[in-house]
Amino acid sequence: MVEPFDAVLMVAFGGPTKPEEIRPFLADVLRGVPVPPGRLEEVAHHYEALGGKSPITELTFRQAERLAELLDREGPRLPVYVGMRYWHPLVGEAVEKMMQDGMRRAVGVIMAAHDSGAASWGKYIKAVTDALLAAGPEAPEVEYIQPCHDHPDFIAAMAEQIRPCLDEIPPERRRSTPLLFTAHSIPTSMATASPYVQQLQESCRLVAEALGHPRWALAYQSRSGDPLTPWLEPDVSAVLRELSAERCPSVVLAPIGFVCDHVEVLFDLDVEAKTEADRLGLELRRASTVNDHPLYIRALADLVRQRVLQG
Protein backbone atom coordinates (compact mmCIF):
# COMPACT_ATOMS: atom_id res chain seq x y z
CA MET A 1 0.00 0.00 0.00
CA VAL A 2 1.31 3.45 -1.00
CA GLU A 3 1.86 5.81 1.90
CA PRO A 4 -0.13 9.06 1.66
CA PHE A 5 1.81 12.29 1.28
CA ASP A 6 2.29 13.84 4.71
CA ALA A 7 4.83 16.65 4.12
CA VAL A 8 6.44 19.05 1.68
CA LEU A 9 10.22 19.30 1.37
CA MET A 10 11.32 22.65 -0.08
CA VAL A 11 14.86 22.39 -1.47
CA ALA A 12 16.83 25.60 -2.05
CA PHE A 13 20.41 26.72 -2.67
CA GLY A 14 21.19 28.28 0.70
CA GLY A 15 23.51 31.13 1.57
CA PRO A 16 25.55 32.73 4.34
CA THR A 17 23.65 34.67 6.99
CA LYS A 18 26.66 36.54 8.45
CA PRO A 19 30.19 37.52 7.30
CA GLU A 20 32.04 34.64 8.98
CA GLU A 21 29.94 32.14 7.02
CA ILE A 22 30.83 33.53 3.58
CA ARG A 23 34.08 31.68 2.84
CA PRO A 24 33.05 28.29 4.29
CA PHE A 25 29.84 28.54 2.25
CA LEU A 26 31.69 29.42 -0.97
CA ALA A 27 34.29 26.70 -0.39
CA ASP A 28 31.46 24.18 -0.27
CA VAL A 29 29.78 25.61 -3.38
CA LEU A 30 33.01 25.64 -5.39
CA ARG A 31 34.34 22.27 -4.20
CA GLY A 32 35.31 20.26 -7.28
CA VAL A 33 34.26 23.02 -9.67
CA PRO A 34 36.89 24.12 -12.24
CA VAL A 35 36.87 27.88 -11.64
CA PRO A 36 39.65 30.42 -12.22
CA PRO A 37 42.09 31.00 -9.34
CA GLY A 38 40.91 33.70 -6.98
CA ARG A 39 37.25 33.22 -7.87
CA LEU A 40 36.31 32.41 -4.27
CA GLU A 41 37.76 35.68 -2.99
CA GLU A 42 36.17 37.60 -5.84
CA VAL A 43 32.72 36.28 -5.01
CA ALA A 44 33.35 36.69 -1.26
CA HIS A 45 33.81 40.41 -1.90
CA HIS A 46 30.41 40.47 -3.61
CA TYR A 47 28.79 39.21 -0.41
CA GLU A 48 30.82 41.65 1.68
CA ALA A 49 29.74 44.54 -0.53
CA LEU A 50 26.12 43.60 0.14
CA GLY A 51 26.34 43.54 3.92
CA GLY A 52 28.11 40.25 4.52
CA LYS A 53 25.20 37.90 3.93
CA SER A 54 22.69 36.60 1.38
CA PRO A 55 18.95 37.18 1.75
CA ILE A 56 18.18 33.77 0.23
CA THR A 57 17.77 31.92 3.54
CA GLU A 58 15.35 34.49 4.94
CA LEU A 59 13.41 34.63 1.67
CA THR A 60 13.25 30.83 1.35
CA PHE A 61 11.82 30.50 4.85
CA ARG A 62 9.32 33.23 4.05
CA GLN A 63 8.30 31.30 0.93
CA ALA A 64 7.96 28.14 2.99
CA GLU A 65 5.83 29.91 5.62
CA ARG A 66 3.52 31.39 2.97
CA LEU A 67 3.19 27.99 1.26
CA ALA A 68 2.37 26.25 4.56
CA GLU A 69 -0.23 28.93 5.37
CA LEU A 70 -1.90 28.56 1.97
CA LEU A 71 -1.94 24.76 2.17
CA ASP A 72 -3.38 25.01 5.68
CA ARG A 73 -6.20 27.23 4.42
CA GLU A 74 -6.98 25.49 1.13
CA GLY A 75 -5.49 22.03 1.45
CA PRO A 76 -3.84 19.67 1.48
CA ARG A 77 -2.73 20.47 5.03
CA LEU A 78 0.95 19.48 4.91
CA PRO A 79 3.86 20.79 6.98
CA VAL A 80 6.64 22.39 4.92
CA TYR A 81 10.27 21.53 5.69
CA VAL A 82 13.23 23.47 4.26
CA GLY A 83 16.54 21.90 3.23
CA MET A 84 19.45 23.74 1.60
CA ARG A 85 22.13 22.36 -0.69
CA TYR A 86 24.98 24.45 0.67
CA TRP A 87 24.09 25.96 4.04
CA HIS A 88 22.07 25.29 7.13
CA PRO A 89 19.56 23.84 7.43
CA LEU A 90 21.14 21.37 5.02
CA VAL A 91 18.98 18.85 3.20
CA GLY A 92 20.24 16.13 5.51
CA GLU A 93 19.18 18.15 8.55
CA ALA A 94 15.71 18.63 7.06
CA VAL A 95 15.42 14.88 6.40
CA GLU A 96 16.46 14.16 9.98
CA LYS A 97 13.77 16.53 11.28
CA MET A 98 11.16 14.91 9.05
CA MET A 99 12.08 11.50 10.44
CA GLN A 100 11.86 12.79 14.01
CA ASP A 101 8.36 14.04 13.18
CA GLY A 102 7.36 10.67 11.71
CA MET A 103 7.02 11.82 8.10
CA ARG A 104 6.94 9.02 5.55
CA ARG A 105 6.31 10.55 2.12
CA ALA A 106 6.96 14.11 0.96
CA VAL A 107 6.29 16.25 -2.08
CA GLY A 108 9.64 17.69 -3.18
CA VAL A 109 9.65 21.33 -4.30
CA ILE A 110 12.83 22.44 -6.06
CA MET A 111 13.14 26.21 -5.68
CA ALA A 112 13.83 26.90 -9.33
CA ALA A 113 11.26 27.67 -11.99
CA HIS A 114 13.24 26.08 -14.83
CA ASP A 115 14.81 22.63 -15.22
CA SER A 116 18.50 23.08 -15.98
CA GLY A 117 19.23 19.36 -15.84
CA ALA A 118 22.69 18.43 -14.59
CA ALA A 119 23.67 22.09 -14.18
CA SER A 120 21.46 22.66 -11.15
CA TRP A 121 18.05 20.94 -11.05
CA GLY A 122 19.68 17.51 -11.05
CA LYS A 123 22.03 18.57 -8.26
CA TYR A 124 19.10 19.48 -6.03
CA ILE A 125 17.62 16.02 -6.55
CA LYS A 126 21.01 14.38 -5.96
CA ALA A 127 21.39 16.29 -2.69
CA VAL A 128 18.05 14.89 -1.53
CA THR A 129 18.84 11.37 -2.78
CA ASP A 130 22.19 11.38 -0.96
CA ALA A 131 20.55 12.63 2.24
CA LEU A 132 17.87 9.93 2.08
CA LEU A 133 20.45 7.19 1.52
CA ALA A 134 22.52 8.47 4.43
CA ALA A 135 19.43 8.48 6.65
CA GLY A 136 18.85 4.80 6.10
CA PRO A 137 15.81 2.61 5.41
CA GLU A 138 13.48 4.66 7.63
CA ALA A 139 13.98 7.80 5.53
CA PRO A 140 10.84 9.22 3.90
CA GLU A 141 10.18 8.99 0.18
CA VAL A 142 10.35 12.23 -1.83
CA GLU A 143 8.54 12.75 -5.14
CA TYR A 144 8.86 16.02 -7.01
CA ILE A 145 6.59 18.58 -8.60
CA GLN A 146 7.42 19.81 -12.10
CA PRO A 147 9.01 23.23 -12.73
CA CYS A 148 6.48 26.07 -12.65
CA HIS A 149 7.95 27.89 -15.68
CA ASP A 150 4.62 28.05 -17.55
CA HIS A 151 2.18 27.96 -14.65
CA PRO A 152 -0.35 30.80 -15.09
CA ASP A 153 0.16 32.03 -11.53
CA PHE A 154 3.95 32.11 -11.87
CA ILE A 155 3.57 34.03 -15.13
CA ALA A 156 1.11 36.47 -13.53
CA ALA A 157 3.40 36.96 -10.51
CA MET A 158 6.37 37.77 -12.73
CA ALA A 159 4.25 40.16 -14.81
CA GLU A 160 3.14 41.96 -11.65
CA GLN A 161 6.76 42.38 -10.57
CA ILE A 162 7.70 43.89 -13.94
CA ARG A 163 4.69 46.15 -14.55
CA PRO A 164 5.69 48.91 -12.07
CA CYS A 165 9.06 49.28 -13.84
CA LEU A 166 7.40 49.66 -17.24
CA ASP A 167 4.88 52.11 -15.78
CA GLU A 168 7.78 54.39 -14.80
CA ILE A 169 8.75 54.74 -18.47
CA PRO A 170 7.11 57.73 -20.23
CA PRO A 171 4.07 56.47 -22.20
CA GLU A 172 5.40 57.63 -25.56
CA ARG A 173 8.37 55.23 -25.39
CA ARG A 174 7.09 52.54 -23.04
CA ARG A 175 6.22 49.93 -25.71
CA SER A 176 9.56 50.40 -27.46
CA THR A 177 11.56 50.02 -24.24
CA PRO A 178 13.39 46.67 -24.23
CA LEU A 179 12.28 44.19 -21.58
CA LEU A 180 15.41 42.15 -20.99
CA PHE A 181 14.82 38.90 -19.12
CA THR A 182 17.85 37.33 -17.43
CA ALA A 183 18.73 33.85 -16.21
CA HIS A 184 21.84 32.13 -14.89
CA SER A 185 24.17 31.07 -17.69
CA ILE A 186 25.19 27.41 -17.79
CA PRO A 187 27.58 25.47 -20.06
CA THR A 188 26.05 24.96 -23.50
CA SER A 189 26.73 21.21 -23.26
CA MET A 190 24.44 21.04 -20.23
CA ALA A 191 21.88 23.34 -21.82
CA THR A 192 21.49 21.13 -24.88
CA ALA A 193 20.82 18.12 -22.64
CA SER A 194 18.03 19.84 -20.69
CA PRO A 195 14.83 21.81 -21.37
CA TYR A 196 16.35 24.90 -19.72
CA VAL A 197 16.50 27.30 -22.66
CA GLN A 198 13.16 26.16 -24.08
CA GLN A 199 11.47 26.65 -20.70
CA LEU A 200 13.07 30.07 -20.25
CA GLN A 201 11.98 31.20 -23.71
CA GLU A 202 8.44 30.03 -23.00
CA SER A 203 8.34 31.87 -19.67
CA CYS A 204 9.61 35.06 -21.28
CA ARG A 205 7.11 34.87 -24.10
CA LEU A 206 4.18 34.24 -21.76
CA VAL A 207 5.15 37.09 -19.42
CA ALA A 208 5.63 39.51 -22.31
CA GLU A 209 2.22 38.49 -23.67
CA ALA A 210 0.63 38.99 -20.24
CA LEU A 211 2.09 42.48 -20.17
CA GLY A 212 1.20 43.19 -23.79
CA HIS A 213 4.82 44.19 -24.30
CA PRO A 214 6.16 43.56 -27.81
CA ARG A 215 9.89 44.15 -27.32
CA TRP A 216 11.67 41.56 -25.21
CA ALA A 217 14.78 39.38 -25.22
CA LEU A 218 16.55 36.83 -23.03
CA ALA A 219 20.10 37.32 -21.79
CA TYR A 220 22.29 35.43 -19.35
CA GLN A 221 24.26 36.43 -16.27
CA SER A 222 26.51 35.16 -13.49
CA ARG A 223 28.82 32.99 -15.58
CA SER A 224 31.47 31.48 -13.32
CA GLY A 225 33.18 28.60 -15.13
CA ASP A 226 36.29 27.99 -17.22
CA PRO A 227 36.53 30.88 -19.73
CA LEU A 228 37.44 28.37 -22.47
CA THR A 229 34.20 26.40 -22.02
CA PRO A 230 31.22 27.63 -24.09
CA TRP A 231 28.39 28.97 -21.93
CA LEU A 232 24.97 30.33 -22.83
CA GLU A 233 25.02 33.81 -24.32
CA PRO A 234 24.45 36.71 -24.81
CA ASP A 235 25.70 38.10 -21.54
CA VAL A 236 23.52 40.84 -20.09
CA SER A 237 26.33 43.41 -20.22
CA ALA A 238 26.91 42.71 -23.92
CA VAL A 239 23.21 43.32 -24.60
CA LEU A 240 23.34 46.60 -22.68
CA ARG A 241 26.21 47.74 -24.90
CA GLU A 242 24.23 46.80 -28.01
CA LEU A 243 21.21 48.76 -26.77
CA SER A 244 23.41 51.77 -26.07
CA ALA A 245 24.86 51.56 -29.58
CA GLU A 246 21.26 51.67 -30.87
CA ARG A 247 20.75 54.85 -28.80
CA CYS A 248 18.13 53.14 -26.69
CA PRO A 249 17.37 55.43 -23.71
CA SER A 250 16.16 52.85 -21.18
CA VAL A 251 15.83 49.16 -20.40
CA VAL A 252 13.96 47.03 -17.86
CA LEU A 253 15.74 43.97 -16.46
CA ALA A 254 13.62 41.06 -15.25
CA PRO A 255 15.54 38.17 -13.57
CA ILE A 256 13.05 35.48 -14.56
CA GLY A 257 15.53 32.67 -13.98
CA PHE A 258 15.68 33.29 -10.21
CA VAL A 259 12.95 32.89 -7.58
CA CYS A 260 14.76 34.92 -4.88
CA ASP A 261 16.57 38.24 -4.84
CA HIS A 262 19.86 36.69 -3.73
CA VAL A 263 23.45 37.80 -4.30
CA GLU A 264 23.67 36.82 -7.97
CA VAL A 265 20.74 39.15 -8.60
CA LEU A 266 21.71 41.90 -6.15
CA PHE A 267 25.35 42.12 -7.21
CA ASP A 268 25.41 40.99 -10.83
CA LEU A 269 22.42 43.14 -11.81
CA ASP A 270 22.04 45.90 -9.22
CA VAL A 271 25.78 46.59 -9.02
CA GLU A 272 27.59 45.33 -12.13
CA ALA A 273 24.87 45.73 -14.76
CA LYS A 274 23.76 49.04 -13.23
CA THR A 275 27.35 50.32 -13.30
CA GLU A 276 27.65 49.33 -16.96
CA ALA A 277 24.32 50.96 -17.81
CA ASP A 278 25.34 54.17 -16.04
CA ARG A 279 28.63 54.21 -17.95
CA LEU A 280 26.68 53.84 -21.20
CA GLY A 281 24.14 56.50 -20.26
CA LEU A 282 21.36 53.87 -20.32
CA GLU A 283 18.52 54.23 -17.82
CA LEU A 284 18.10 50.84 -16.14
CA ARG A 285 15.23 49.59 -14.01
CA ARG A 286 15.31 46.15 -12.41
CA ALA A 287 12.17 44.19 -11.59
CA SER A 288 12.06 42.05 -8.46
CA THR A 289 12.12 38.29 -8.65
CA VAL A 290 8.92 36.55 -7.55
CA ASN A 291 10.19 36.06 -3.96
CA ASP A 292 7.09 35.35 -1.82
CA HIS A 293 4.59 36.99 -4.17
CA PRO A 294 1.17 35.47 -3.36
CA LEU A 295 0.65 34.29 -6.93
CA TYR A 296 3.98 32.48 -7.02
CA ILE A 297 3.13 30.78 -3.73
CA ARG A 298 -0.26 29.87 -5.20
CA ALA A 299 1.51 28.28 -8.20
CA LEU A 300 3.61 26.13 -5.88
CA ALA A 301 0.55 25.14 -3.84
CA ASP A 302 -1.32 24.16 -6.99
CA LEU A 303 1.57 21.96 -8.17
CA VAL A 304 1.81 20.34 -4.72
CA ARG A 305 -1.94 19.72 -4.80
CA GLN A 306 -1.74 18.15 -8.26
CA ARG A 307 1.07 15.84 -7.11
CA VAL A 308 -0.91 14.76 -4.04
CA LEU A 309 -3.99 14.04 -6.15
CA GLN A 310 -1.92 11.81 -8.43
CA GLY A 311 -1.34 9.58 -5.41
Q: Report the SS3 class of residue 310.
A: helix
What the chain holds in terms of domains, given with CATH numbers, is 7-148+293-310 (3.40.50.1400), 152-286 (3.40.50.1400)
Query: What gap in Å lies between CA 203 and CA 172, rounded to an integer?
Result: 27
Query: What gap in Å lies between CA 157 and CA 203, rounded to an integer?
Result: 12
Q: Report CA-CA distances (Å) from 146 to 48, 143, 158, 304.
A: 35, 10, 18, 9
Q: Report CA-CA distances (Å) from 33 to 28, 142, 255, 264.
A: 10, 27, 24, 17
Query: What gap in Å lies between CA 183 and CA 55, rounded to an integer?
Result: 18
Query: What gap in Å lies between CA 3 and CA 311, rounded to an integer?
Result: 9
pLDDT of residue 1: 64
pLDDT of residue 187: 94
pLDDT of residue 241: 98
pLDDT of residue 31: 84
pLDDT tens track of the chain, all 311 residues? 678 999 999 999 999 999 999 999 998 998 877 777 688 898 999 999 999 999 999 999 999 999 999 999 999 999 999 999 999 999 999 999 999 999 999 999 999 999 999 999 999 999 999 999 999 999 999 999 999 999 999 999 999 999 999 999 999 999 999 999 999 999 999 999 999 999 999 999 999 999 999 999 999 999 877 778 899 999 999 999 999 999 999 999 999 999 999 999 999 999 999 999 999 999 999 999 999 999 999 999 999 999 999 98
